[in-house]
Structure 1
Amino acid sequence: KERQRELASKREARKNEDFKKELAAKREVRKIERQRELVAKREVRKDKIIEGLKQKVRSQRDNYDLRQIEDKENLLLKESRKDKNYRRAEAESKKSQKEKIRFKTDRKTKRTCCKREVRKDKIIEGLKLKVRSLKRNSDLRQMERQKRIVAKKEARKNENFKRNETEKKKIARQDENYRKHESERDFHRKQEYRSHPENLEMSV
Protein backbone atom coordinates (compact mmCIF):
# COMPACT_ATOMS: atom_id res chain seq x y z
CA LYS A 1 0.00 0.00 0.00
CA GLU A 2 2.82 2.36 0.85
CA ARG A 3 4.37 1.53 -2.50
CA GLN A 4 1.17 2.48 -4.26
CA ARG A 5 0.99 5.71 -2.27
CA GLU A 6 4.55 6.62 -3.28
CA LEU A 7 3.81 5.97 -6.91
CA ALA A 8 0.63 8.02 -6.73
CA SER A 9 2.42 10.92 -5.03
CA LYS A 10 5.16 10.84 -7.69
CA ARG A 11 2.52 10.94 -10.42
CA GLU A 12 0.84 13.89 -8.76
CA ALA A 13 4.17 15.69 -8.46
CA ARG A 14 4.88 15.10 -12.16
CA LYS A 15 1.41 16.31 -13.05
CA ASN A 16 1.96 19.43 -10.98
CA GLU A 17 5.30 20.08 -12.71
CA ASP A 18 3.69 19.67 -16.18
CA PHE A 19 0.86 21.92 -15.11
CA LYS A 20 3.32 24.53 -13.86
CA LYS A 21 5.27 24.35 -17.13
CA GLU A 22 2.06 24.69 -19.10
CA LEU A 23 1.04 27.67 -17.01
CA ALA A 24 4.46 29.27 -17.48
CA ALA A 25 4.25 28.71 -21.25
CA LYS A 26 0.76 30.21 -21.37
CA ARG A 27 1.95 33.20 -19.36
CA GLU A 28 4.87 33.64 -21.76
CA VAL A 29 2.51 33.49 -24.76
CA ARG A 30 0.18 36.04 -23.13
CA LYS A 31 3.15 38.27 -22.35
CA ILE A 32 4.34 38.11 -25.98
CA GLU A 33 0.79 38.80 -27.24
CA ARG A 34 0.48 41.76 -24.84
CA GLN A 35 3.79 43.15 -26.04
CA ARG A 36 2.66 42.75 -29.66
CA GLU A 37 -0.63 44.50 -28.86
CA LEU A 38 1.25 47.31 -27.16
CA VAL A 39 3.56 47.68 -30.17
CA ALA A 40 0.55 47.64 -32.52
CA LYS A 41 -1.25 50.24 -30.39
CA ARG A 42 1.87 52.40 -30.37
CA GLU A 43 2.08 52.12 -34.17
CA VAL A 44 -1.60 53.03 -34.49
CA ARG A 45 -1.10 55.99 -32.13
CA LYS A 46 1.97 57.04 -34.09
CA ASP A 47 0.04 56.79 -37.39
CA LYS A 48 -2.84 58.78 -35.89
CA ILE A 49 -0.44 61.44 -34.59
CA ILE A 50 1.29 61.64 -38.01
CA GLU A 51 -2.10 61.82 -39.81
CA GLY A 52 -3.27 64.49 -37.37
CA LEU A 53 -0.12 66.50 -37.95
CA LYS A 54 -0.54 66.14 -41.72
CA GLN A 55 -4.16 67.29 -41.48
CA LYS A 56 -3.08 70.18 -39.28
CA VAL A 57 -0.45 71.19 -41.83
CA ARG A 58 -3.01 70.82 -44.65
CA SER A 59 -5.62 72.85 -42.79
CA GLN A 60 -3.03 75.52 -41.97
CA ARG A 61 -2.01 75.63 -45.64
CA ASP A 62 -5.66 75.75 -46.69
CA ASN A 63 -6.34 78.50 -44.18
CA TYR A 64 -3.31 80.41 -45.44
CA ASP A 65 -4.47 79.98 -49.07
CA LEU A 66 -8.00 80.99 -48.08
CA ARG A 67 -6.68 84.04 -46.28
CA GLN A 68 -4.65 84.99 -49.32
CA ILE A 69 -7.68 84.52 -51.60
CA GLU A 70 -9.86 86.52 -49.21
CA ASP A 71 -7.25 89.28 -49.04
CA LYS A 72 -7.11 89.42 -52.82
CA GLU A 73 -10.91 89.47 -53.03
CA ASN A 74 -11.05 92.26 -50.46
CA LEU A 75 -8.48 94.25 -52.39
CA LEU A 76 -10.43 93.73 -55.59
CA LEU A 77 -13.64 94.74 -53.84
CA LYS A 78 -11.99 97.89 -52.52
CA GLU A 79 -10.69 98.70 -55.96
CA SER A 80 -14.07 98.04 -57.54
CA ARG A 81 -15.81 100.21 -54.93
CA LYS A 82 -13.39 102.98 -55.72
CA ASP A 83 -14.31 102.64 -59.36
CA LYS A 84 -17.58 104.45 -60.09
CA ASN A 85 -18.17 102.50 -63.26
CA TYR A 86 -17.93 99.11 -61.50
CA ARG A 87 -21.42 97.95 -62.46
CA ARG A 88 -20.99 99.25 -65.97
CA ALA A 89 -17.63 97.45 -66.23
CA GLU A 90 -19.25 94.24 -64.94
CA ALA A 91 -22.07 94.55 -67.46
CA GLU A 92 -19.57 95.30 -70.22
CA SER A 93 -17.42 92.31 -69.29
CA LYS A 94 -20.51 90.05 -69.24
CA LYS A 95 -21.60 91.50 -72.55
CA SER A 96 -18.14 91.01 -74.03
CA GLN A 97 -18.08 87.43 -72.73
CA LYS A 98 -21.47 86.78 -74.32
CA GLU A 99 -20.28 88.38 -77.54
CA LYS A 100 -17.14 86.25 -77.46
CA ILE A 101 -19.23 83.11 -76.96
CA ARG A 102 -21.61 84.21 -79.74
CA PHE A 103 -18.67 85.05 -82.00
CA LYS A 104 -17.10 81.65 -81.34
CA THR A 105 -20.37 79.81 -82.01
CA ASP A 106 -21.00 81.91 -85.13
CA ARG A 107 -17.47 81.22 -86.35
CA LYS A 108 -17.92 77.52 -85.67
CA THR A 109 -21.27 77.53 -87.50
CA LYS A 110 -19.75 79.49 -90.38
CA ARG A 111 -16.86 77.06 -90.60
CA THR A 112 -19.23 74.10 -90.64
CA CYS A 113 -21.40 75.83 -93.25
CA CYS A 114 -18.30 76.69 -95.31
CA LYS A 115 -17.09 73.11 -95.09
CA ARG A 116 -20.55 71.89 -96.15
CA GLU A 117 -20.62 74.41 -99.00
CA VAL A 118 -17.12 73.38 -100.10
CA ARG A 119 -18.16 69.71 -100.00
CA LYS A 120 -21.34 70.56 -101.90
CA ASP A 121 -19.38 72.60 -104.44
CA LYS A 122 -16.90 69.76 -104.86
CA ILE A 123 -19.73 67.28 -105.38
CA ILE A 124 -21.46 69.65 -107.84
CA GLU A 125 -18.15 70.29 -109.64
CA GLY A 126 -17.52 66.56 -109.79
CA LEU A 127 -20.99 65.96 -111.19
CA LYS A 128 -20.51 68.80 -113.69
CA LEU A 129 -17.18 67.35 -114.78
CA LYS A 130 -18.82 63.94 -115.11
CA VAL A 131 -21.67 65.43 -117.16
CA ARG A 132 -19.14 67.36 -119.27
CA SER A 133 -17.06 64.28 -119.87
CA LEU A 134 -20.21 62.30 -120.73
CA LYS A 135 -21.31 65.12 -123.04
CA ARG A 136 -17.83 65.25 -124.57
CA ASN A 137 -17.88 61.52 -125.08
CA SER A 138 -21.37 61.79 -126.56
CA ASP A 139 -20.24 64.72 -128.77
CA LEU A 140 -17.15 62.79 -129.80
CA ARG A 141 -19.28 59.78 -130.64
CA GLN A 142 -21.64 62.00 -132.61
CA MET A 143 -18.71 63.68 -134.38
CA GLU A 144 -17.20 60.30 -135.18
CA ARG A 145 -20.58 59.13 -136.46
CA GLN A 146 -20.93 62.28 -138.55
CA LYS A 147 -17.37 61.87 -139.82
CA ARG A 148 -18.17 58.30 -140.80
CA ILE A 149 -21.36 59.44 -142.53
CA VAL A 150 -19.49 62.28 -144.30
CA ALA A 151 -16.69 59.89 -145.25
CA LYS A 152 -19.23 57.44 -146.63
CA LYS A 153 -20.94 60.26 -148.52
CA GLU A 154 -17.59 61.47 -149.83
CA ALA A 155 -16.67 57.97 -150.82
CA ARG A 156 -19.99 57.59 -152.59
CA LYS A 157 -19.48 61.00 -154.22
CA ASN A 158 -16.00 59.99 -155.30
CA GLU A 159 -17.35 56.76 -156.73
CA ASN A 160 -20.10 58.67 -158.54
CA PHE A 161 -17.56 61.27 -159.66
CA LYS A 162 -15.27 58.57 -160.97
CA ARG A 163 -18.21 56.91 -162.68
CA ASN A 164 -19.28 60.25 -164.16
CA GLU A 165 -15.73 60.97 -165.27
CA THR A 166 -15.43 57.59 -166.96
CA GLU A 167 -18.85 58.12 -168.51
CA LYS A 168 -17.81 61.59 -169.73
CA LYS A 169 -14.57 60.22 -171.11
CA LYS A 170 -16.48 57.41 -172.77
CA ILE A 171 -18.97 59.86 -174.31
CA ALA A 172 -16.13 62.19 -175.38
CA ARG A 173 -14.35 59.22 -176.96
CA GLN A 174 -17.57 58.19 -178.65
CA ASP A 175 -18.08 61.78 -179.86
CA GLU A 176 -14.48 61.91 -181.11
CA ASN A 177 -14.91 58.59 -182.86
CA TYR A 178 -18.20 59.77 -184.31
CA ARG A 179 -16.61 63.02 -185.52
CA LYS A 180 -13.73 61.12 -187.03
CA HIS A 181 -16.13 58.76 -188.65
CA GLU A 182 -18.22 61.68 -189.95
CA SER A 183 -15.19 63.53 -191.30
CA GLU A 184 -13.92 60.37 -192.95
CA ARG A 185 -17.34 59.78 -194.45
CA ASP A 186 -17.48 63.37 -195.70
CA PHE A 187 -14.00 63.05 -197.14
CA HIS A 188 -14.93 59.83 -198.89
CA ARG A 189 -18.10 61.41 -200.20
CA LYS A 190 -16.17 64.37 -201.53
CA GLN A 191 -13.61 62.07 -203.10
CA GLU A 192 -16.34 60.02 -204.65
CA TYR A 193 -18.08 63.12 -205.84
CA ARG A 194 -14.94 64.48 -207.37
CA SER A 195 -14.12 61.20 -209.00
CA HIS A 196 -17.13 61.62 -211.35
CA PRO A 197 -16.42 64.26 -214.07
CA GLU A 198 -20.08 65.01 -214.65
CA ASN A 199 -20.38 66.26 -211.19
CA LEU A 200 -17.50 68.65 -211.76
CA GLU A 201 -19.07 69.96 -214.95
CA MET A 202 -22.35 70.54 -213.22
CA SER A 203 -20.65 72.42 -210.50
CA VAL A 204 -18.98 74.72 -213.12
Structure 2
Amino acid sequence: MIGAICSAVYYYNHIYYFFDTHSHSECTLNNPLDSSGKSILIGFADLHDLLSYLYAFYTSLQIDLDSQYEILPVCISSKDAEKDVTKQIKNYFDDQKLRNTKQKNNSYQYIKVPKFVYMKNYMQNRRKEKNYRKTEADRKKSQRENSDIRPIVRQRELVAKRKARKTEDFNKRELAAKREVRKDTNYRRAEAEKKKSQRDNSDLRQIERQRELVAKRDARKNEDFNKRELAAKRDARKNKDFNKRELAAKRDARKNEDFNKRELAAKREKLER
Protein backbone atom coordinates (compact mmCIF):
# COMPACT_ATOMS: atom_id res chain seq x y z
CA MET A 1 0.00 0.00 0.00
CA ILE A 2 1.44 3.34 -1.08
CA GLY A 3 -0.43 6.61 -0.83
CA ALA A 4 -4.12 5.79 -1.19
CA ILE A 5 -3.46 2.87 -3.55
CA CYS A 6 -3.86 -0.62 -2.17
CA SER A 7 -2.89 -3.42 -4.56
CA ALA A 8 -2.13 -7.13 -4.33
CA VAL A 9 0.92 -9.08 -5.49
CA TYR A 10 1.07 -12.84 -5.22
CA TYR A 11 3.34 -15.57 -6.49
CA TYR A 12 1.89 -18.73 -7.99
CA ASN A 13 3.38 -21.37 -10.22
CA HIS A 14 6.60 -19.39 -10.89
CA ILE A 15 4.61 -16.32 -11.99
CA TYR A 16 4.37 -12.99 -10.16
CA TYR A 17 0.81 -11.68 -10.41
CA PHE A 18 -0.25 -8.09 -9.81
CA PHE A 19 -3.90 -7.27 -9.15
CA ASP A 20 -5.28 -3.74 -8.83
CA THR A 21 -8.89 -2.52 -8.78
CA HIS A 22 -8.13 1.02 -9.92
CA SER A 23 -8.62 2.36 -13.42
CA HIS A 24 -6.12 1.13 -16.00
CA SER A 25 -6.05 2.04 -19.66
CA GLU A 26 -5.09 -0.25 -22.52
CA CYS A 27 -1.41 0.46 -21.87
CA THR A 28 -1.92 -1.07 -18.36
CA LEU A 29 -1.04 2.30 -16.74
CA ASN A 30 -3.24 5.02 -15.33
CA ASN A 31 -4.56 7.55 -17.83
CA PRO A 32 -6.69 10.36 -16.35
CA LEU A 33 -8.07 11.21 -19.81
CA ASP A 34 -9.38 7.69 -20.32
CA SER A 35 -12.71 7.23 -18.53
CA SER A 36 -13.14 3.61 -19.64
CA GLY A 37 -10.37 2.16 -17.45
CA LYS A 38 -10.69 -1.25 -15.86
CA SER A 39 -9.17 -3.34 -13.10
CA ILE A 40 -6.10 -5.33 -14.01
CA LEU A 41 -4.56 -8.72 -13.34
CA ILE A 42 -1.17 -9.04 -14.95
CA GLY A 43 1.58 -11.66 -14.59
CA PHE A 44 5.37 -11.40 -14.82
CA ALA A 45 7.84 -14.23 -15.11
CA ASP A 46 10.67 -12.07 -13.75
CA LEU A 47 10.62 -10.10 -10.50
CA HIS A 48 12.54 -7.19 -12.07
CA ASP A 49 9.83 -6.81 -14.70
CA LEU A 50 7.23 -6.57 -11.93
CA LEU A 51 9.24 -3.87 -10.15
CA SER A 52 9.67 -1.90 -13.38
CA TYR A 53 5.94 -2.05 -13.96
CA LEU A 54 5.18 -0.91 -10.39
CA TYR A 55 7.50 2.08 -10.81
CA ALA A 56 5.80 3.03 -14.08
CA PHE A 57 2.30 2.53 -12.66
CA TYR A 58 2.84 4.65 -9.53
CA THR A 59 4.55 7.33 -11.60
CA SER A 60 1.49 7.49 -13.88
CA LEU A 61 -0.61 8.03 -10.73
CA GLN A 62 1.72 10.94 -9.79
CA ILE A 63 2.69 9.26 -6.51
CA ASP A 64 6.02 10.17 -4.99
CA LEU A 65 8.17 7.04 -5.06
CA ASP A 66 9.96 8.20 -1.90
CA SER A 67 6.72 8.29 0.09
CA GLN A 68 5.97 5.85 2.88
CA TYR A 69 4.53 2.46 2.01
CA GLU A 70 3.20 -0.59 3.83
CA ILE A 71 3.46 -4.28 3.01
CA LEU A 72 1.02 -6.71 4.61
CA PRO A 73 1.69 -10.39 3.98
CA VAL A 74 -1.40 -12.49 3.34
CA CYS A 75 -1.39 -16.27 3.36
CA ILE A 76 -4.21 -18.25 1.72
CA SER A 77 -4.45 -21.89 2.75
CA SER A 78 -6.20 -24.54 0.72
CA LYS A 79 -8.07 -26.05 3.68
CA ASP A 80 -10.43 -23.24 4.64
CA ALA A 81 -9.54 -20.38 2.38
CA GLU A 82 -12.62 -18.26 3.03
CA LYS A 83 -12.26 -18.20 6.83
CA ASP A 84 -8.50 -17.66 6.65
CA VAL A 85 -8.81 -14.68 4.29
CA THR A 86 -11.53 -13.15 6.46
CA LYS A 87 -9.31 -13.51 9.51
CA GLN A 88 -6.36 -11.96 7.71
CA ILE A 89 -8.46 -9.01 6.56
CA LYS A 90 -9.82 -8.53 10.09
CA ASN A 91 -6.29 -8.57 11.46
CA TYR A 92 -5.29 -5.98 8.87
CA PHE A 93 -8.04 -3.56 9.88
CA ASP A 94 -7.34 -4.12 13.58
CA ASP A 95 -3.70 -3.35 12.95
CA GLN A 96 -4.60 -0.16 11.07
CA LYS A 97 -6.91 0.95 13.88
CA LEU A 98 -4.19 0.37 16.45
CA ARG A 99 -1.69 2.33 14.36
CA ASN A 100 -4.08 5.27 14.01
CA THR A 101 -4.79 5.44 17.76
CA LYS A 102 -1.07 5.38 18.57
CA GLN A 103 -0.40 8.06 15.99
CA LYS A 104 -3.10 10.30 17.47
CA ASN A 105 -1.75 9.89 20.99
CA ASN A 106 1.81 10.65 19.96
CA SER A 107 0.97 13.47 17.57
CA TYR A 108 1.96 17.02 18.43
CA GLN A 109 -0.46 19.90 18.16
CA TYR A 110 1.02 22.86 16.34
CA ILE A 111 -0.64 26.24 16.76
CA LYS A 112 -0.59 28.28 13.59
CA VAL A 113 0.80 31.74 14.22
CA PRO A 114 0.43 34.53 11.62
CA LYS A 115 3.65 35.38 9.86
CA PHE A 116 3.75 39.02 10.95
CA VAL A 117 3.24 38.03 14.61
CA TYR A 118 6.03 35.48 14.38
CA MET A 119 8.40 37.97 12.76
CA LYS A 120 7.50 40.64 15.32
CA ASN A 121 8.29 38.33 18.25
CA TYR A 122 11.41 37.09 16.51
CA MET A 123 12.78 40.59 15.93
CA GLN A 124 11.92 41.69 19.47
CA ASN A 125 13.88 38.78 20.88
CA ARG A 126 16.79 39.50 18.56
CA ARG A 127 16.96 43.17 19.55
CA LYS A 128 17.49 42.13 23.16
CA GLU A 129 20.93 40.85 22.21
CA LYS A 130 23.75 43.36 22.63
CA ASN A 131 25.69 42.16 19.60
CA TYR A 132 22.65 42.51 17.36
CA ARG A 133 21.95 46.06 18.58
CA LYS A 134 25.55 47.02 17.98
CA THR A 135 25.62 45.58 14.45
CA GLU A 136 22.29 47.24 13.65
CA ALA A 137 23.56 50.62 14.87
CA ASP A 138 26.73 50.25 12.77
CA ARG A 139 24.67 49.30 9.74
CA LYS A 140 22.40 52.34 10.10
CA LYS A 141 25.41 54.59 10.57
CA SER A 142 27.02 53.27 7.39
CA GLN A 143 23.75 53.79 5.53
CA ARG A 144 23.55 57.41 6.67
CA GLU A 145 27.10 58.01 5.49
CA ASN A 146 26.38 56.45 2.09
CA SER A 147 25.23 59.16 -0.33
CA ASP A 148 23.35 56.67 -2.53
CA ILE A 149 21.34 55.06 0.26
CA ARG A 150 20.63 58.28 2.20
CA PRO A 151 18.07 59.69 -0.31
CA ILE A 152 16.25 56.34 -0.43
CA VAL A 153 16.00 56.18 3.36
CA ARG A 154 14.89 59.81 3.46
CA GLN A 155 12.18 59.11 0.89
CA ARG A 156 10.92 56.14 2.90
CA GLU A 157 10.75 58.28 6.03
CA LEU A 158 8.77 60.96 4.21
CA VAL A 159 6.29 58.40 2.87
CA ALA A 160 5.87 56.91 6.34
CA LYS A 161 5.29 60.37 7.83
CA ARG A 162 2.68 61.23 5.19
CA LYS A 163 0.80 58.03 5.98
CA ALA A 164 1.03 58.71 9.70
CA ARG A 165 -0.29 62.27 9.32
CA LYS A 166 -3.49 60.94 7.76
CA THR A 167 -4.51 59.44 11.11
CA GLU A 168 -6.29 61.69 13.60
CA ASP A 169 -4.60 60.19 16.66
CA PHE A 170 -1.15 60.92 15.26
CA ASN A 171 -2.09 64.54 14.49
CA LYS A 172 -3.47 65.02 17.99
CA ARG A 173 -0.32 63.63 19.57
CA GLU A 174 1.87 65.76 17.31
CA LEU A 175 -0.04 68.94 18.14
CA ALA A 176 0.12 68.19 21.85
CA ALA A 177 3.86 67.61 21.60
CA LYS A 178 4.36 70.89 19.71
CA ARG A 179 2.37 72.80 22.33
CA GLU A 180 4.54 71.35 25.07
CA VAL A 181 7.72 72.28 23.19
CA ARG A 182 6.55 75.86 22.55
CA LYS A 183 6.15 76.40 26.29
CA ASP A 184 9.93 76.32 26.59
CA THR A 185 11.38 79.85 26.46
CA ASN A 186 14.69 78.67 25.00
CA TYR A 187 12.86 76.97 22.14
CA ARG A 188 10.81 80.10 21.41
CA ARG A 189 13.92 82.26 21.45
CA ALA A 190 15.76 79.91 19.08
CA GLU A 191 12.71 79.79 16.78
CA ALA A 192 12.50 83.59 16.70
CA GLU A 193 16.20 83.94 15.89
CA LYS A 194 15.86 81.37 13.13
CA LYS A 195 12.96 83.24 11.53
CA LYS A 196 14.81 86.54 11.84
CA SER A 197 17.87 85.11 10.10
CA GLN A 198 15.63 83.78 7.35
CA ARG A 199 14.05 87.20 6.85
CA ASP A 200 17.47 88.83 6.66
CA ASN A 201 18.58 86.38 3.98
CA SER A 202 17.35 87.66 0.60
CA ASP A 203 17.41 84.25 -1.09
CA LEU A 204 15.42 82.57 1.66
CA ARG A 205 13.05 85.53 1.79
CA GLN A 206 12.32 85.18 -1.91
CA ILE A 207 11.70 81.43 -1.56
CA GLU A 208 9.40 82.01 1.39
CA ARG A 209 7.54 84.69 -0.52
CA GLN A 210 7.07 82.32 -3.44
CA ARG A 211 5.70 79.64 -1.13
CA GLU A 212 3.24 82.09 0.39
CA LEU A 213 2.01 83.13 -3.05
CA VAL A 214 1.50 79.52 -4.10
CA ALA A 215 -0.36 78.80 -0.86
CA LYS A 216 -2.59 81.84 -1.39
CA ARG A 217 -3.39 80.82 -4.96
CA ASP A 218 -4.35 77.35 -3.78
CA ALA A 219 -6.44 78.83 -0.99
CA ARG A 220 -8.31 81.15 -3.38
CA LYS A 221 -9.51 78.14 -5.34
CA ASN A 222 -11.46 77.11 -2.27
CA GLU A 223 -14.99 78.55 -2.14
CA ASP A 224 -15.09 78.67 1.66
CA PHE A 225 -11.86 80.68 1.72
CA ASN A 226 -13.25 83.18 -0.82
CA LYS A 227 -16.43 83.59 1.20
CA ARG A 228 -14.47 84.25 4.38
CA GLU A 229 -12.20 86.72 2.57
CA LEU A 230 -15.15 88.65 1.11
CA ALA A 231 -16.84 88.74 4.50
CA ALA A 232 -13.64 90.07 6.07
CA LYS A 233 -13.38 92.80 3.40
CA ARG A 234 -16.99 93.86 3.96
CA ASP A 235 -16.39 94.09 7.68
CA ALA A 236 -13.21 96.10 7.07
CA ARG A 237 -15.00 98.59 4.77
CA LYS A 238 -17.44 99.37 7.54
CA ASN A 239 -14.53 100.80 9.51
CA LYS A 240 -14.00 104.54 8.85
CA ASP A 241 -10.26 104.42 9.47
CA PHE A 242 -9.88 101.62 6.93
CA ASN A 243 -11.82 103.59 4.31
CA LYS A 244 -9.69 106.66 4.93
CA ARG A 245 -6.49 104.70 4.51
CA GLU A 246 -7.79 103.03 1.36
CA LEU A 247 -8.80 106.38 -0.20
CA ALA A 248 -5.44 107.89 0.68
CA ALA A 249 -3.66 104.94 -0.91
CA LYS A 250 -5.73 105.32 -4.10
CA ARG A 251 -4.96 109.06 -4.31
CA ASP A 252 -1.24 108.37 -3.94
CA ALA A 253 -1.45 105.66 -6.59
CA ARG A 254 -3.20 107.96 -9.09
CA LYS A 255 -0.34 110.42 -8.83
CA ASN A 256 1.90 107.75 -10.34
CA GLU A 257 2.02 107.89 -14.17
CA ASP A 258 2.65 104.15 -14.56
CA PHE A 259 -0.39 103.36 -12.48
CA ASN A 260 -2.55 105.70 -14.59
CA LYS A 261 -1.31 104.10 -17.80
CA ARG A 262 -2.14 100.62 -16.54
CA GLU A 263 -5.53 101.83 -15.37
CA LEU A 264 -6.35 103.36 -18.78
CA ALA A 265 -5.17 100.24 -20.60
CA ALA A 266 -7.39 98.08 -18.43
CA LYS A 267 -10.41 100.33 -19.10
CA ARG A 268 -9.82 100.22 -22.88
CA GLU A 269 -9.71 96.41 -22.77
CA LYS A 270 -13.02 96.34 -20.93
CA LEU A 271 -14.63 98.68 -23.49
CA GLU A 272 -13.33 96.63 -26.41
CA ARG A 273 -14.89 93.51 -24.96
- TM-score when normalising by structure 1: 0.23
* Higher relative contact order, chain-length normalized (CA < 8 Å, sep 6+): 2
* Structure with the largest fraction of strand: 2
* Structure with the largest fraction of helix: 1
- The structure with the largest alpha-carbon Rg is 1
- TM-score when normalising by structure 2: 0.18
